[in-house]
């Protein structure tokens, strides 16, 4: 079923099984929560700012058409625009709930990025899974290039006890070491300091990245499967940067890890009138 929250500024999808729910703001089509059996899978900072002009600190902001800094505002404009709600659907057999969100060019986007386009973010909530499919349509009569990413913040009990698997033997750009290109030799990525890496084509080799939260007996695994998003960004700002950030704070640094499916190491070149699709499917494997 569906519920509108705070005067239509957000929509909640509710599944009949596992008390599963997802809440999505029209602002950025940002998913701000995904809960299964009262467990909060996504991190949302208690200092997150919901004011216009900023991405939300937590949940899943959509990065488009530019990842990181550059000509456009950091991480592009999709995460700070108001999207519209399109079709919604409940599958009568499975109870799976889908909602679609749309964004297209307007006066403001054309000023900084001179192309006509349409984005659709389709979100499906299943009993213990959650899917996001991003569609980009080039409506212009010329080609445009873009990068795109789902900037997913996962809750962990303690970053010091969190491990990520599935990225072994993949080259990555280490953004905290002068963007040096390195090769991942470890089975598990662990966190001991600020981490900001772009695993290139991480998804084509393996197609499955797992987050293992090992704290206090509480063990759960989250699996991320992707299509077309060929890169994975892994980020934790660590203590100092969290402390100096207005919307994170020192108390939050250990409570999340960003594992971000995207296409960022090589921009997509999309011809006039062409469509590009990419998706992630996140599964909750076990929890206690
Ligand atoms: O995806 C990682 C990253 O690009 C980091 O470099 C870090 O800056 C983070 O995103 C957050 O960016 P934001 O603009 O939301 O502060």
Q: Where do the structural domains in the chain lie, given as residue ranges?
A: 2-286
Model ipTM value: 0.98
Ligand 1 site residues (CB inside 6 A) read 55, 68, 74-75, 151, 175, 196, 233, 235, 258, 260
Token output for 133: 């499919």
Query: Is residue 260 annotated as part of the catalytic site, yes or no?
Result: yes
Radius of gyration over every alpha carbon of the chain, rounded to an integer in angstroms: 18
Average pLDDT for the chain? 93
Index of the ligand 1 atom closest to the CA of residue 245: 16
In tens, the pLDDT along 166-217 reads 999 999 999 999 999 999 999 999 999 999 999 998 665 556 788 888 765 5
- Contact by Cβ (8 Å): 228, 234: no
Q: How far is the CA of 93 from the centre of ligand 1 (A)?
A: 40
In tens, the pLDDT along 224-270 reads 999 999 999 999 999 999 999 999 999 999 999 999 999 999 999 99
What are the phi and psi torsion angles at 110 (to 5°)? -65, -30
Return the residue whose CA atom lies nearest to atom 8 of ligand 1: 68
Would you call the peptide bond into 65 cis, given omega within 30 degrees of 0 as the criterion?
yes
178, 258, 263, 264: which to mutate for ligand 1, most atoms within 8 A of CB? 258
Q: How far is the CA of 68 from the centre of ligand 1 (A)?
A: 7
Q: How far is the CA of 151 from the centre of ligand 1 (A)?
A: 8
Q: Count CB neighbours of 139 within 10 A.
A: 13
Index of the ligand 1 atom closest to the CA of residue 61: 15
CATH number for 2-286: choose from 2.40.50.140, 2.70.98.10, 3.30.1490.20, 3.40.718.10: 2.70.98.10
């Amino acid at each position: 079923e569906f519920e509108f929250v705070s005067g239509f500024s957000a929509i909640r999808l509710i599944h009949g099984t596992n008390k599963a729910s997802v809440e999505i703001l029209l602002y950025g089509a940002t998913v701000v929560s995904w809960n299964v059996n009262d467990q909060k899978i996504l991190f949302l900072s208690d200092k997150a700012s919901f004011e216009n002009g900023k991405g939300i600190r937590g949940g899943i902001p959509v990065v488009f058409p530019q990842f990181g800094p550059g000509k456009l505002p950091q991480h592009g404009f999709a995460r700070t625009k108001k999207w519209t709600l399109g079709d919604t659907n409940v599958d009568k057999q499975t109870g799976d709930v889908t909602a679609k969100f749309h964004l297209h060019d307007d006066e403001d986007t054309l000023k900084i990025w001179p192309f006509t386009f349409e984005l659709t973010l389709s979100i499906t909530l299943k009993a213990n899974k959650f899917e996001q499919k991003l569609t980009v349509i080039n409506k212009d009569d010329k080609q445009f290039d873009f990068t795109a990413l789902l900037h997913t913040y996962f809750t962990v009990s303690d970053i010091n006890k969190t491990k990520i698997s599935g990225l072994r033997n993949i080259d990555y750009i280490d953004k905290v070491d002068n963007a040096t290109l390195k090769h991942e030799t470890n089975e598990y990525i662990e966190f001991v300091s600020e981490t900001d890496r772009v695993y290139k084509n991480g998804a084509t080799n393996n197609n499955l990245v797992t987050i293992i939260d090992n704290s206090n007996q509480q063990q759960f695994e989250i699996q991320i499967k992707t299509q077309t998003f060929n890169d994975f960004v892994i980020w934790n700002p660590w203590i100092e940067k969290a402390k100096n950030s207005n919307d994170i704070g020192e108390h939050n640094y250990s409570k999340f890890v960003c594992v971000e499916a995207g296409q960022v190491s090589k921009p997509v070149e999309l011809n006039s009138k062409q469509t590009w699709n990419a998706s992630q499917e996140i599964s909750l494997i076990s929890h206690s």
